[in-house]
Amino acid sequence: MLTWTDVLRFASKGNPTPPNRVDKTDAEWKKLLTEEEYYITRKKGTERAFTGEYCEAHDPGLYACRCCGTNLFDSTLKFESGTGWPSFTQPINENAVAYHKDSSFGMVRVEVLCNVCDGHLGHVFPDGPAPSGLRYCINSASIKLVEKTAAV
């Protein structure tokens, strides 16, 4: 289980190796994404609080990167943070998410990105529930729900 200490270590000393890489040109991303998805994922934008489609969603499944389809978060680790964005306590794998120090807007935060395609997801904070204490605050436009299927 990742902790705030792990997040800070990754943000300052380097991220885990991604499982693979997806690199596209800006023009290719613009063709694949809506205007809002492109703005949020490729230009580090943010959707307004309480407007995203997954803010209050409780459907089971995995949440994948909107850009490249990499599985990032499991719905069983999603919780109601009251912040207006989907919140998770952990990524699905340690190397699914990359961490970068973000000093924009006069504050210091830790930005989270898809470790495979560098798509901006949101930020992580040390004010989540036990046992990890982490809150991954993620833009709905950066992820898509992939329904779980029943085992046969």
CATH number assigned to the domain covering 4-147: 2.170.150.20
Comparison of pLDDT for 55 and 104, the residue scoring more? 55
Task: From 100, 131, 121, 135, select the one nearest 8 (Cα to Cα).
Answer: 100
Active site residues per annotation: 137
Q: SS3 for 141?
A: helix
Residue 62 token pair: 């995995």
Q: Quote the mean pLDDT of the chain.
A: 94
Domain boundary assignment for the chain: 4-147
Question: Which pTM value belongs to this model?
Answer: 0.93
> For residues 147 and 60, is the Cβ–Cβ distance under 8 A?
yes
> For residues 28 and 20, is the Cβ–Cβ distance under 8 A?
no
Statement: residue 107 has pLDDT above 80: no
Question: What is the Cβ-side half-sphere exposure of residue 107, based on CA atoms within 13 angstroms?
Answer: 6
What gap in Å lies between CA 54 and CA 31, rounded to an integer? Answer: 23
Statement: residue 147 has pLDDT above 50: yes
pLDDT digits (tens, 9 = 90+) for 3-56: 999 999 999 999 999 999 999 999 999 999 999 999 999 999 999 999 999 999
Q: So what's the pLDDT on residue 149? A: 56
User: Which runs of E-coded beta strand occur in the chain?
Assistant: 61-65, 71-74, 78-79, 87-88, 97-102, 109-114, 120-125, 135-138, 143-147
Q: Quote the Cα angle for 60-75-89, to 5°.
A: 165
Statement: residue 123 has pLDDT above 50: yes
> For residues 136 and 124, is the Cβ–Cβ distance under 8 A?
yes
